[in-house]
Structure 1
Amino acid sequence: MIKVNNVVKTFDGFTALDGLTMTAEKGSIYGLVGPNGAGKSTILRHIMGIYRPDSGSVLVDGEQVYENPAVKAKIAAIPDELYYFNSASTRDMMRFYRGMYPNFDMKRYEALAEAFPEVDEKQPIRRLSKGMQKQSAFRLALCCNPEVLVLDEPVDGLDPVMRRQVWTLLMGDVAQRGTTVLVSSHNLRELEDVCDHVGILSHGKVLLERSLTDLQDNVVKLQLAFADGELPELPKDLNVLHTSQIGRVYTLIVRGNPAEIKTRMAVCAPILMEALPLTLEEIFIYELGGEDYAVRDIVL
């Protein structure tokens, strides 16, 4: 389990993390989402043990990560910007990883050649395309058999077939080995398909942290039409995040239980009322709309 408690981190007077708190359960895929500059990469580097928090704690299985080789041996990572030794091939890096990670699985390394058949393991990684470099990175990271896998924009540069291949491998490790996967990505549609839990970051804090099911069950998109074409006065305690209109159809984004909201709205006598679940992307936009995020006036 990953537990981040009230972490603060500043760089030259700029507060990158401002009391960030989050928890990722063992054997789950936790998605970190947020606008650029929200602190996603910074907290990932704390969890990898690269940064020391100014205050607060970062624990993996109850132990501090920073300067703790035993804990770091359980963690593998694929950063957004890959870095390997100059002229090192995939096979060269395999030998390096095998010396660093006690659980490195050589049999799996050989078997995964079939999953990434286009990657020449003897070719210097820096000479490979971006997509091929990512495939090489996944092959190496998965063979470390980590308990925690930290991914920053992990499938950027991969084609759709290879993206599916990678996610299938990751979800297999979560199901079979109990691997905890922490992933930051701007591809919210993809995260929606794979994540158990989601944390929405803004200004160095976690605004919202819930299971994806709970998130979608707590916000609803209502499409409504009324006989006179006008939106009536709504119940005063209805938590409406956004209202828009196209023709005679009004769209309301409302926080709360969908069934209860429909019951409350029935008193307004709509001639049309349909409740639709929000996508993770829509939840992201409207939750950050409350934080004066730049896209708060988007009409969906």
Structure 2
Amino acid sequence: MIKCKQLTKRFEELTALDQVDLSVQTGSIFGLVGSNGAGKSTLLRILAGVYRADGGTVTVNSQSVFENRALKSKLRFVPDELALPAGQNLLSMGKQLSRLYPSWDEAWFTELCQRFPVNEKSRFQALSKGNRRQAGIILALASRPEVLLLDEVFDGIDPVIRRLVKQLIAQEVADRRMTVVLASHNLREMEDFCDTLAFLHKGGLILEKELDELSLHLQRVQAVFEKMPPIDSLKQKLCITTYEQTGSLITFVARGTKEDVLAALEQFGPTFKETVPLSLEEVFISEMEAAGYDIDKILG
């Protein structure tokens, strides 16, 4: 398990992380989402032992990561900007890492090199950004880590390779209970992949919830009325978070199960009503508004 308590990191006058509390269960895929500068990369670097925290604690399996060589051998971090040695290639880098990581799997490394369209003999300096990222993923997976930390891992790779990466990671999680923490600013990329999501904003943790829990008690409803009921009456009977009206059509997001929301709406006599799936982005915005955040101010 990964646990952060009151985790704080500063860079001179900038507070990159401000008293962040979160827990990542073993064998889960945990997503960190947020805008640029939210603190996602800083958090990953602290989890990887690259940075030392300025306040609070961070542990992996109850151990501190920073300057813990034994624990670091069980972790792999693929940063957004890969610093692969220009003069080396996948084969030479694999030989080096096989001596550093006790769990290195040479047969798995060979299979991964065959499955990804990257020439294992090409020097890293000759590879495109997408191919360098694929090389980093291959090297990370071949070391069979207990914890895999990924920063914007899907950036710069095509949809087919993204699907392959997701399949391989999901397989490792299912087979070995590998724990994955990945950071992205793209909610749509993560909504069909992660178990739990945490939203960071300006170094603070806004919310952390399991994916199923996020969408279970939020419903987007469209309804048509011959005579439009007063919005205040609707809001009194339904826990509405967002509301739009176009003529006789209203669209709103309300808290509650699908059955309870539609039953409460029925008393207002709609001529038509239906629930419409919510995107993960819409769920997060509703949750943030419920937590008291001014979304227009944040996004503006």
Normalized against structure 1, the TM-score is what? 0.92
- Residues 7-22 of structure 1: matches in 2 within 5 Å? 7-22=7-22
Aligned to 1:5: 5
Aligned to 2:26: 26
Deviation at 1:236, TM superposition (A): 2.6
Residues 108/297 of structure 1: CA separation in 2 closer, same or farther (3 Å cut): closer
Inter-partner Cα distance in structure 2 for 1:214 and 1:226: 31
Deviation at 1:295, TM superposition (A): 7.9
Query: What is the letter of the counterpart of residue 151 of structure 1?
Result: L
Equivalent pair of 1:76/1:146 in contact (CA under 8 Å)? yes
Aligned to 1:186: 185
Residues 293/87 of structure 1: CA separation in 2 closer, same or farther (3 Å cut): farther
Inter-partner Cα distance in structure 1 for 2:41 and 2:247: 43
Inter-partner Cα distance in structure 2 for 1:11 and 1:216: 36
Deviations 1:81-111 (A, max 9, x none): 1111231211222122112211111111111
Aligned to 1:136: 135
Inter-partner Cα distance in structure 2 for 1:295 and 1:161: 37
Equivalent pair of 1:285/1:296 in contact (CA under 8 Å)? no
Deviation at 1:237, TM superposition (A): 6.7
Greater mean deviation of Cα atoms: 30-39 or 221-230: 221-230
Aligned to 1:125: 124
Deviations 1:60-88 (A, max 9, x none): 11111111111111111111111112312
Aligned to 1:274: 274
Deviations 1:14-57 (A, max 9, x none): 21111111111111111111122221111111111111111111
Deviation at 1:297, TM superposition (A): 8.7
Structure 1: state its 5+ residue gaps. Answer: none
Inter-partner Cα distance in structure 2 for 1:73 and 1:46: 15
Greater mean deviation of Cα atoms: 28-37 or 165-174: 28-37
Inter-partner Cα distance in structure 2 for 1:296 and 1:19: 20
Residues 237/37 of structure 1: CA separation in 2 closer, same or farther (3 Å cut): farther
Equivalent pair of 1:47/1:65 in contact (CA under 8 Å)? yes
Residues 56/256 of structure 1: CA separation in 2 closer, same or farther (3 Å cut): farther
Aligned to 1:251: 251
- For these two proteins, the number of residue pairs brought into alignment is 297
SS state at 1:114 partner: helix
Identity within the alignment, % = 39
Residues 273/188 of structure 1: CA separation in 2 closer, same or farther (3 Å cut): same
Aligned to 2:144: 145
Query: What is the letter of the counterpart of residue 182 of structure 2?
Result: V
Cα root mean square deviation, aligned: 2.0
Equivalent pair of 1:2/1:59 in contact (CA under 8 Å)? yes
Deviation at 1:238, TM superposition (A): 4.0
Aligned to 2:295: 293
1:83 correspondence with 2:100: no
Equivalent pair of 2:8/2:17 in contact (CA under 8 Å)? yes
